Structure 1
């Protein structure tokens, strides 16, 4: 479990001593540097690195970093809010020692996610990891709830020898095909070994639908640790690819046409060790609370997509009848619905049942995405929200009258449409707080402006290697 406590300048009791011991252990294993990692508002992974000998100091006093990155765009241009985006100020990056791990795919390096703290020792209101930790803590205090979460990772594997900027698939076999698995056998075997060495339990690794595409599903953890794990696994996938003469993209749309890369969220709510999505008296074994939570997420999906599908490239992926979940519909094991109830295997449903949120991709900051989904669900729980009738099959095939009766409508087809919904949504904006909510709004608007006038092919190219 990830600690729910905020960093403390000078370190919590025993923390500096622990960091000193961990640094010594890493040094003895040939680790020379530590990657301090976080994800910015645009969904880009940002890092600073320190020598292994500096871990104790970082645990005590953090490492400096400018707050300006809260309003960076994916192309490294800077936008601004009333409090963010200037060259002024400084923050401290505090590594989470519970998540520190030696990187199996990058010999000589270790990795740790960070919380960002002000120079005065307060929570930085733009820190997405701190935001998610606060949402989880509030759910525990206010509702007695805990969560288990997992984030699917889909990525496209290309040849590093391809012409500059182009994507040439590194595997030519068919979707889910044995041929494709053989073509990249050494790479994927090393990925499994690296995950195991880093303590990441893998549920599945397989070829996916699009050319050169693969997917890895990893074990569920508490939401903060699940978001950390998503960042770590992507770092591992990318590092291994470089060693095999490959190049990977997690962009929602590597090319303009066809199926893109998703990052579906799986989430279950628990109380006192019991999964609320299983064993209940409501539909498909849900408890009344699980239904209300699901209804809360469903109601806020149009606004949520400003966080879960935040790139202009996301809209190239969010197309009907491509399993992307682009309608406000839910269903049992229905992969075209935006919310898919996963019951799990008979005999294991008490541990496996969960809610899958499909209009999510890996341009999303995983801390923001999970935090906002949970906040939406908790709002539904607080108001006793009611789930509408479930949808079977493809919602795109519903007639207008039936769709309206079920409350099924198309999610915003543009990032501008999602942003407008987000700006009107008081639940999400309140959960994020004004500083972070305004950063999300400014960065999304900046991305919209950055691609103004570009056709789909040029939008895909603009973001192909950003994520």
Structure 2
């Protein structure tokens, strides 16, 4: 992030021939929204005088028309490299404020800021590196997305087998032009599936990056005649797309998850931080996996975790402990998917982990065997708990966990529950092609 001044932004806008400014913000469900203003209104925007009607935004808690004010975060000023070179377009990521000048407490960015502020007051900073997965599919003759890919590439394959390589390269170059530091990119396991990883940075900066990343990926994909989707499970029979979250917890400039004297390199705080996440993961799942479709990815038999376990070796574990020679121990939470709202996911990870440290929570024993083929009864006998199996179960757990309500606020929780329960009810009204094929002629 840059520490831009008003004067520097005005100068850049003039020198770079910026004609439009997008004022962006994220709604409750992780959808990026914006209004566009001409550059002549740039000073008005930086004076926090641009107004939106919040009543029509996804997840709004009000039915009547209500004005909210967008406060641009000057450090997020960026010229969008995929827009025209003459009459350029820039953007700010904004915080939302009410008419009385107070912050809108149901804003996901505000929620994350509150958790970060509490952590900082205790001396902690959470650094994250999300692994963002997505599919590239062909479009039809009308430019509409399909679920068709002609490639057969697998994990870390390269061209000519990997037909997404050129698009992925342009995505990385575009992100780097915007100041992103990209750790790596590669083809994932399923045909058409891609992954681009960021370098570690603090949670607020990373959440902003994830939202912009999605726009950039979709835009560059369209230029290549492709459709990029972050839908967790767009095709049956193959792995879905996750957003694995790698975490370091910093204090006094040191990664306090590490302890070189420990058998697996994890500190006492590290065990408790992980225990906190495992203790609250059922309640967190409705946010980490927010769609009906999310639970198709979490179904047993694929790479995504379906059980509440941790391991240093097993890839199907919910949390993996990894130790790097230089950086030390880090935790990888593997259940969140690419459709989730990063502000809320990061806020809950940090709050749950710190709850574990504050309460000195004890961890369950490490998973050391492959339980992929275990039955439910075998898992129960082994003391292995499971994640919610569908959105309805996840919402029940979401409503029960007091930490969720403390972090997100009662108003947010009630509104989220209402909207997602409607989504589940609409899904249950549908009749799928699978049901027709299975039952129409037999019953």
Question: Would you call these one fold, judging by a TM-score over 0.5?
Answer: yes
Looking at structure 1, the residues matched to 356 and 182 of structure 2 have their Cα atoms a distance apart, in angstroms, of: 32
1:371 aligned residue: 347
8 Å contact kept, 2:139–2:145: no
Task: Give, in whole Å, the separation in 1 of the partners of 2:141 and 2:131.
Answer: 27
Summarize the alignment of residues 74-85 of structure 1 with structure 2, pairs less than 5 Å apart: 84-85=61-62
Q: Residue deviations 1:60-109, cap 9 Å, x none?
A: 2242223335544xxxxxxx7xxx14132121121211122112223322
Quick one: distance in 2 between partners of 1:39 and 1:182? 33
In structure 2, the residue matched to 1:301 is: 281
- CA RMSD of superposed structures (Å): 2.4
State the SS of the aligned residue for 2:300: coil
Counterpart CA distance in 2 for 1:171 and 1:397 is 30
Q: Could you say which residue in structure 2 is the equivalent of 1:173?
A: 153
In 2: Cα distance, 1:400 partner to 1:48 partner = 49
Q: For residue 24 of structure 1, report the CA deviation from its aligned partner.
A: 2.9
Deviation at 1:259, TM superposition (A): 1.3
Please list the CA deviations of residues 239-272 of structure 1 after superposition, one character each: whole Å capped at 9, or x if unmatched: 1112121111111111244211111112211100
How do residues 334-413 of structure 1 correspond to structure 2 at under 5 angstroms? 334-344=314-324, 346=325, 348-350=326-328, 353-398=329-374, 403-404=379-380, 407-413=383-389
In the alignment, which residue of structure 2 is the partner of 1:145?
A: 124
Deviations 1:116-146 (A, max 9, x none): 11111101011000110110110111x2111
Aligned pair count reads 431
| Greater relative CO, 1 or 2 (CA 8 Å, sep 6+) | 1
Task: Determine whether 1:92 maps to 2:69.
Answer: yes
**d(CA) in 2 for partners of 1:198, 1:132:** 23
Q: Partners of 2:377 and 2:271 in 1: how far apart?
A: 25
Taking the TM superposition and a 5 Å limit, the aligned residue runs for 1:267-278 are: 267-278=247-258
> TM-score w.r.t. structure 1 length?
0.86
Q: What residue in structure 2 maps to residue 192 of structure 1?
A: 172
Q: Counterpart in 2 of 1:6?
A: none
Shift of residue 275, structure 1, vs aligned partner: 0.3
Q: Which residue of 2 aligns with 1:11?
A: none
Distance, in Å, in 1 between the alignment partners of 2:149 and 2:199 is: 28
- Separation in 2, partners of 1:58, 1:284: 51
Distance 2:351 2:251 in 1: 17
Which is richer in strand?
2
Aligned equivalents of 1:405 and 1:272: distance in 2? 43
**For residues 219 and 265 of structure 1, what CA distance do their matches in structure 2 show?**
12
Name the CA distance, whole Å, in 2 between partners of 1:181 and 1:102: 34
Report the counterpart of residue 311 of structure 1 in structure 2. 291
Partner Cα separation in structure 1 for residue 432 and residue 282 of structure 2: 22
Find the counterpart in structure 2 of residue 7 from structure 1: none
Deviates more, 1:241-250 or 1:25-34: 25-34
SS in 1 for 2:30: coil
Q: How does 1:33-432 map to 2 (within 5 A)?
A: 33-69=20-56, 71-72=58-59, 84-107=61-84, 108-141=88-121, 143-161=122-140, 164-169=144-149, 171-179=151-159, 183-344=163-324, 346=325, 348-350=326-328, 353-398=329-374, 403-404=379-380, 407-432=383-408
Once residues 309 and 218 of structure 1 are traced to their aligned partners in structure 2, the CA distance between those partners, rounded to angstroms, is 21
Bigger drift between 301-310 and 185-194 goes to 185-194
Preserved CA contact (<8 Å) 1:23 1:52: no
CA separation of 1:238/1:358 partners in 2, compared to 1, >3 Å: closer, same or farther?
A: same
2:410 is aligned to 434
